[in-house]
Structure 1
Amino acid sequence: MLSKKKIVTLAVVGVIIATIAYFSINRGKVTYTTEAVSRGAVVEKVSVTGSIAAMTKINLQPEAGGKVVKIFVKEGDEVRAGDKLIQIDAREAASAVAAQQAAVDSAAARLNQLLAGATAEELHVSQTAVDTAQAQLDAALGTKSDAATSLENALANQVNVMARAAAALQSKIDSFVIDYDQAAYVAGDAFNRLLGSFFNSSDYLSFACTNSQFQTDAESTRVAARAAVARLRDKVTAVKANVTESAVEAAYVGVMAELRIVNDHANAGAAALNYSANLTSSTLATYQLNANTAQTNMNTAMQELTTDQTGLDLQRKTNATDLTNAEIAVSNARAALANATNAVETAKRALAQAQANLDLKKAGVRPEEIAAQQATVNAQKATLESLQTALAKRTVTASIDAVVAQVPVELGETVTASQVVAVLNTQGKFEIVANVSEIDIAKVKVDDKVDITLDAFQGGERWQGHVVSIQPAEKVVEGVVFYETKIVFDQEDERLRPGMTANLEIESGRVENALRASIRAVKDKAGQKSVQILVDGKPQDRQIKTGLENTDYVEVLSGLAEGELVITGTGK
């Protein structure tokens, strides 16, 4: 009987052995960490940093480019509406004003001249103008008559070209049909008359042939040629019943195919004849002549059809060129007539104006002419006032009471009409200006909610805002593309100051009750998202389609079901 001490010892040894066996068996076995696919909110956010700026900023731009010759203010200056800020070089504008002043003076002098009446010399000049205008009208009428004749000739030529083209094309078609008919006759003659004596009624050679292959070729092509001759007659008959360009051309490929079959038969018969064994010399000579005649006639018929096809194509191209040239000639003639007609109308108006001027001078100045010249004077004065206004606007002034935030130009710098030369700040609400990278900008849109913290406030205080604008033009900073995005606070806070650094969490997307999986389970290979799930204790790849994602979850659009376990990690 075992003692108690021995029993305990044996038990301990057994436990040790079992432990060693367990770890030996499970050594190297992989374990998996999983997480169930669930439903819940998926909120996608874009994190960026920006800075607070006064929401109301006025960018002042000159209405014309030029060199900055004087700067009246500096950053931080308080200005009133109308105060001078920037002076742009106004020498060109001043010259324009001076030139326009001269135009005003000239119009006024003309008005005074009308009021004084016409002189004998002025009457002579006006009569000369009438004579010149009449001569120009006569010349224009002659040109118009010539242009009308040219158009008539061009139209007549176009009709003739169309008729000649149609006739030439029809001639090619008719020739094609005749050659089709001739080809069918030649094929039938070759098969029946010239080669018929080579074969018996069963389509076997009527003479002995020492070359079995040539005999087989001759006899097998005989059967095919018989059918080809019949089909050829049908095709040619169909074309003759419908002699059109499309029908004639459409039949070409089929007719040539049938002719080649008959031609192959003629060649095979001639080849077999070279190995004839029991023909008399006179019969052999007759057969050889028939075979040569059949081959020659077939080749000639096929060549004529090929020539017909080429000729038809060439005729179409020739017709197209001739018709195009005729159309161009008509178009040019129409344009010339239109130009000549316009020239006649212009000459008529010029003559009428010259005659009216002469009549007016002879009759004395009418009140209407004086009124018209007075209107010219007034128009020139209005232009002068506009130029004077433009000259005055070369001095950039403050549009409202404000504080100068920036003067981004220097003395002597040349600026453009669209360039900002001064920036004004007004007291009021603030905005945050942030640069969003091109990687994230597609996710951000106007009205997205924004969670805001400020470095100036360390107590965890938060503000809420929303996106109000996204600049369409990119901004490159150290080789990286950004897009300027502006955010406003939903509530005002008097503690806010321009320049404060703002940390932004832009909520670019939110889906409530979304089917979601742990982001740690998702793999991305060449744009294809996948996860691994456990099937009978073994990992299995599963492709999925995803939507929104954040640092914790990804929205699952397809590929997984709620409750499935996805692998998030492995261990041993």
Structure 2
Amino acid sequence: MRALFGSKLFWGFIAIFVLAGGIAIKMRNGADKTLDTYVVAKGDIRSEVSLSGRVKPITEMNLAFLSSGRVSWLGVKVGDRVNKGQALASLEHATLSAQLEQAKASLLIENSTFDSMKAGSRPEDVEIARIKLDNAKQTLANKEVLLRDAVSTTYIKSENAIYNYVDQFYNNPNSYNAQLSITVTSDYESKLESDRPIIEDVLRNWQAKVSVKQSVEVEASEARLALSSLREFSSLLARAVNAMTPSATLSATTLAGYKTDVSTVRNTLETELANVTNAIQVWVDSRSNSVLLEEQYNLTKAPARREDLVAEEARVARAEAEVSRLQSEIYRASIFAPVSGLIAKQDFEVGEIAGPTDVKIRVISDRALSIEVNVAEADVVAVKLGQEVEVTTDAYPNNVVFKAIVTELDPAETIVDGVSTYKTRISFTDEDGRLKPGMTANVIIVTASKQDALVVPSRFVIDRNGKQGVYVEKSSGTSEYKVVETGLRGSDGNIEILFGVSEGDVLVFSKS
């Protein structure tokens, strides 16, 4: 056995076997194209700027407003002792405060709407919508009856106006050879005699259609067409009669009676046309109301669509963002003591215009130590006064974290090794005897953070045609590309999704 293990031939076979196995495994892995998936979930995300510096003594901090405006209130004077977070001065922000209250009210409305959409309509709301629809349908039926009655009445009055008043001026008025029995100018005579048979046809066709039940809309339309023809004919007759003058065979009294009769015909036709038009409009309004209430009833009893819920959820998020923005603007309109200490300088005056460059309050800190770091040009736009900072030191384990905040940010650049940087002071929020001057400090400035946000690894977000999107796994096993709106990009490689996917969606990313 020892001879076998010691032989070169044995170990040669072993080497060949191992090499072959490794090649086979590599080939198999190379052919294995798997899909990386991720279930969308809510979590915390934050962006950071990591720096290093040394702990050193601190004596004072110069403060200014983060925004510009008119100074409205001063709460301290030189020599006053202040506590951390105490308000020192404020700019006018009454308009912002009013906008904030309005934004909070809008957020409350959007949240209420979203909750109502998720819960669906109450049974009593559905019943009320049904009752309104039934009442509207009954009203429409009643208006239809009134419209038919108006059309019928209009026909009777129009027929009476023609047969009892107009036909007195004709011989054989109901025939196709109707002739005027009065003397009018030749300009009117031929037209009036040729139009009378046409008017007879209009009345007969109208009577036939009124007798046959058809849609009320058609009846009303035909009534208006008939009245239009009768009005035109009566206007022509009125012009002819009004042009007549008394003669040996036509007394002034008789002519006056003719003119009165023609005027009666015209007034009757105008009145009936107005009555029919009004009845049509009332019926149209009732029909529109019935259609609207039927749509409202169907919407009330139907569950909310997913796309409507997503859209309303986005409106809630937008309202929340507006509240946060206004709260931030109000915060920026005041100066707060970043640490406990004494006021060494206060040069603001009520009524003056002040801004971020007006450094007129100085606080001498009760704490003795701070950290001075140089922030690179690429990161300085994200660093703001008052941001939280986490500090670890080489002297203690990494799980020993000291809390601090950004208290000073030099507006002028400082060149370090040929690179533009900006000197920034980090002040500890609590006095801790473990910290010593000269310790190497590892600084993490939290430039932005959000809790309970939809967070996914950034590798799942793909740029396509200038828009960002993700592949979402469908129940069929395939994936669907969806456009998303992203928010905060975390330092840990994750990214916030504001709109486009929901919690629980499965994202797909190909490793091939």
Q: TM-score interval w.r.t. the shorter chain?
A: 0.3 to 0.5
- Whichever of the two has the greater Rg, that structure is 1
After TM superposition, the score normalised by the length of structure 1 is: 0.31
Q: Which has the higher helix share?
A: 1
After TM superposition, the score normalised by the length of structure 2 is: 0.34
